[in-house]
Structure 1
Amino acid sequence: MNEVLLLKPVFHEKIWGGQKLAQFGYKLPATDIGECWAISGHPHGTNTIENGDYAGQTLAQLWQDHRELFDNMPGDRFPLLTKILDAEASLSVQVHPGDAYAKEHAHDLGKTECWYIIDADPGAYLIYGHHAKTKAEFEDLVHAGQWDKLLRKQPVKTGDFVYVPSGTVHALNKGIMALETQQSSDTTYRLYDYDRIDKTTGEKRELHLKDAFNVTQIPFEPVAANTTSKTVGASTLTTLVSAPVSKYFNVYRWVIKDEVAFKKAFPCTLISVLHGQGKLQVGSTTYELKRGDHLLLTAKASAWTLSGDMDIIASVPGKQAQ
């Protein structure tokens, strides 16, 4: 029974985190938890399989030893990473490199990502891009600390979706919870961190200005995700982003209100249940799903159905990741 891999989340303490992820039913460490790594094969936090023939092994191990589960996709690492982030305080203003720069300077993948906003306080906003027209202007405003002049603020509300290509200056701000789909990379270049003190070191967290200057897109040009939706019975299936906008992943929101049948169209499918409960049927096997569950449908799953009352974010590797 290798069609469905149920995954145990990995939690990361962050200076900007809190305890709101407990609402998904997780037993959190009694610290400021900022990130739930929900579907990950990254060495900084790979998930353990909780069911079937591979129970107790990690997703990273399966990627190395059983590539047939992923249609023999190439690559040294499972290509995608799904997170849930709780911004109890604002994240640092940061930027991620593309593949070529990350490979040369960080020995990692690049990091293009996107956010589905699970919850946002009234008045919440993101940092998304900047106003500088030239590299010189950008660097001058950073060195002068003129953040209000430099940074572009974008209001967000629950249910919004934002596509964040590598090279985009960005930050989740206070009062936002988001599901993030990204390349499986942990390379971040900080521009600004509000002069916060890391309680572990007693010092300000490191900035990475040189690298950030090298990889930031200047001038900033926002990329529209070109989201589309269709109804299937009482359910709504939304494509949040896909090719040609995104090379690395397709991301979907499935609002399941009755039974919906799916057929395999990709090497694997990543599923996260944000709200509600229901069932996944694969062949003769039924899986009970609830809020906070994360799973991976392998290449062995040729068709499946979802039923119940659930709000799901799903993703698949894009062509560039294969």
Structure 2
Amino acid sequence: MSSFVPQPAKLPSNQFDHFYKGGYRIGKLRNGPGGPMRPEEWIASTTTRFGQQENGLSKLPNGQLLKDAVAADPKSWLGEKHIQRFGISTEILVKLLDPDQRLPVHYHPDQRFAKEKLQLNHGKTEAWIILEAPVGAKVGIGFKNQMAKNEVAALVSNHDSTGLLNSLEFKQVQAGDAVFVPAGVPHAIESGIFVLELQEPTDLSILLEWDGFAVDGDKDGHLNLGFDTALDALQLEPLTDKQQGQIISRFESTQSISHAIFKSIADDFFRADYLTGDSRRVEPGFGVFLALAGNGLMKFSNASAIRVNIGDAIVVPHSAGELSIENCAGIFSRPPKA
């Protein structure tokens, strides 16, 4: 293990090409390359694109991969309790999504399916924190009615985008909404919705449609499993009334008091808080802060303060100790509690 104690650090931009259009707002916020085909930024990522060796991984300011830094000194980065429960996985992937076209209808496998079929320890439960949205913007989440596997398979094989979209339950969203998306649930995001996404640390997506997108779904849309197997990971029944009440929450950027963003349904997967310049001190632990308002300071009990400007993304190691912020606000994303 290195004798160098890791420090909180501002992360450089990590945009890269994807199969759908967008990315200009990410470039503006994060001083990155922007679009037209870089609609995602992976922030503090120790996760690679599916089937790739390095694409997707974040680098620290010195050029070292964050993944390598964590592996070299997991105790400093993650803390003993985290390691005892989760090993040296950071347990989260933070993204910015900035689609200039509707995302295709798709879904992600859960942990059980990923373990059995892909020999991975994580599925891809995720959540969207809406930063900006056009008036009347909607997201689709879950089927309206009970579906059968062969019914969905026919929609996929027939490239029936209209049928797939009509099968989804759409909800109107606005800035400040947060939507928890359980693994297995089909979903889509309309164009123009700017999202901070938290998820399990994988790149596991199964496409139900792909016409009009720069991807060959017949070849690459099913995680190399074939659709007959991949569709076993799809939740065919609608969300229950209880789930409907749990998945939607809000954060209030006008509040002067820091507060949690998600309801307890997310606790087993990730945490996020909207932090303001109040007196709250956050306990030590790995996390990622994205500054969204003000220009101020991020202070730590065991590390030097960092000046923070809008758009800065700061990765925080456990060894930095308690943190607080002054004269700024933003979202602090964290793994589940150890």
TM range (shorter): 0.7 to 0.9
Q: Could you tell me whether the CA contact under 8 Å between 2:139 and 2:187 is conserved in 1?
A: yes
In structure 2, the gaps of 5 or more residues are 50-55
- Residues 37-48 of structure 1 mapped to structure 2, 5 A cutoff: 37-44=42-49, 45-48=56-59
1:295 paired residue number: 314
Partner residue of 1:235 out of 256, 260, 278? 256
Equivalent residue letter for 1:276? G
1:198 paired residue number: 214
Cα distance in 2 between the residues matched to 1:43 and 1:159: 29
Q: 1:218 Cα deviation (Å)?
A: 2.5
Partner residue of 1:64 out of 58, 61, 71? 71
Q: 1:32 Cα deviation (Å)?
A: 1.7
Q: 1:56 Cα deviation (Å)?
A: 2.9
In structure 1, the gaps of 5 or more residues are none
The two structures have a TM-score, normalised by structure 2, of: 0.81
What is the CA RMSD across the aligned residues, in angstroms?
A: 2.8
- Residues 265-284 of structure 1 mapped to structure 2, 5 A cutoff: 267-283=285-301
The structure in which a higher percent of residues are helix is 2
User: Per the alignment, do residues 83 and 59 of structure 1 end up closer, same or farther by CA in structure 2, a change over 3 Å counting?
Assistant: same
1:11 paired residue number: 15
- Residues 139-158 of structure 1 mapped to structure 2, 5 A cutoff: 139=153, 145=160, 146-158=163-175
Cα distance in 2 between the residues matched to 1:268 and 1:215: 30
Q: Could you tell me whether the CA contact under 8 Å between 2:47 and 2:202 is conserved in 1?
A: yes
SS at match of 1:280: strand
2:53 paired residue number: none
> Which digits, 9 at most, give the CA deviation of each residue in 1:133-189, with x for residues without a partner?
142554455556322431111111111110011011112211111000111100100
Cα distance in 1 between the residues matched to 2:137 and 2:219: 24
Equivalent residue letter for 1:304? L
Q: Could you tell me whether the CA contact under 8 Å between 1:129 and 1:169 is conserved in 2?
A: yes
- Residues 180-199 of structure 1 mapped to structure 2, 5 A cutoff: 180-193=197-210, 195-196=211-212, 198=214
Cα distance in 2 between the residues matched to 1:188 and 1:30: 22
Q: Could you tell me whether the CA contact under 8 Å between 1:243 and 1:250 is conserved in 2?
A: no
Tell me the percent identity: 22
Aligned residues between the structures: 308
Please tell me whether residue 124 in structure 1 is matched to residue 137 in structure 2.
yes
Equivalent residue letter for 2:100? E
SS at match of 1:152: strand
Q: 1:67 Cα deviation (Å)?
A: 0.7
1:82 paired residue number: 94
Partner residue of 2:221 out of 207, 211, 236? 207
User: Per the alignment, do residues 230 and 303 of structure 1 end up closer, same or farther by CA in structure 2, a change over 3 Å counting?
Assistant: farther
Q: 1:5 Cα deviation (Å)?
A: 3.1
User: Per the alignment, do residues 127 and 152 of structure 1 end up closer, same or farther by CA in structure 2, a change over 3 Å counting?
Assistant: same
Q: Could you tell me whether the CA contact under 8 Å between 2:206 and 2:230 is conserved in 1?
A: yes
User: Per the alignment, do residues 192 and 68 of structure 1 end up closer, same or farther by CA in structure 2, a change over 3 Å counting?
Assistant: same
User: Per the alignment, do residues 4 and 122 of structure 1 end up closer, same or farther by CA in structure 2, a change over 3 Å counting?
Assistant: same
